[in-house]
Amino acid sequence: MSARDRIRAVAETLREPRSVNWISEQADAAWSTTNEELQALVDQGQLRRVEAGETTRYQPDYTRLLFEEIRTLIEANTREELRNELAAITEEIEEWQTTYDIETWEELEQSLADSDLTSAELRDRRDVISHWEENLEDRLLIKHALALYSDVEAAREQRINVSARVRN
């Protein structure tokens, strides 16, 4: 993997704004190469520059990532598949609510303090909490994808029609 590839890999996984120095160190790349690559990523709209006092930091463009994720869901799934996944997520959450006699993952998290739980029960509940949070994120993305499905399909059809006219 080249230095530029390593820089991109680090930049794509940032969870909070980071400096050129930090990214350079994580990517094991020269500062100048890191700075150039980060600027290119900003110019391409993949990163955002954040001014923090006298320090410039970089972070992913979370809005762009959200729309890319929604677009990927739409392109990889039919409406029916998205509806089925939404139903499966809802069913799984309802099973957890019944199993643990709770309404939210936060209530399940509070139950971790119960002194009667075994280590296996604690582990199971932590796993459920993690899956529950992921399911809520996935459900939100799927709802957005379903809401935008027709618009994205129409845009795709328009692109195909334009490409066909250009070839003819």
Residues 148 and 70 in one domain: yes
DSSP class of residue 111? G
pLDDT over 70 (residue 159): no
Element (H, E) at 18: strand 18-19
Helix or strand or coil: residue 94?
A: helix
81 plus 50 within the same structural domain:
no
Same domain, 44 and 104: no
So what's the pLDDT on residue 164? 60
Report the first-to-last Cα separation within the chain, whole angstroms. Answer: 42
Count up the domains in the chain and report the number. Answer: 2
- Which structural domain range is residue 23 located in? 3-60
Round to whole Å and give the CA distance between 126 and 157.
Answer: 44
Shared-domain flag, residues 133 and 86 = yes
pTM of the model: 0.69
Q: What is the per-residue DSSP string for 55-80?
A: EEEEEE-HHHHHHHHHHHHHHHS-HH
The pLDDT tens digits for 74-133 are: 999 999 999 999 999 999 999 999 999 999 999 999 999 888 899 999 999 999 999 999
Shared-domain flag, residues 14 and 96? no
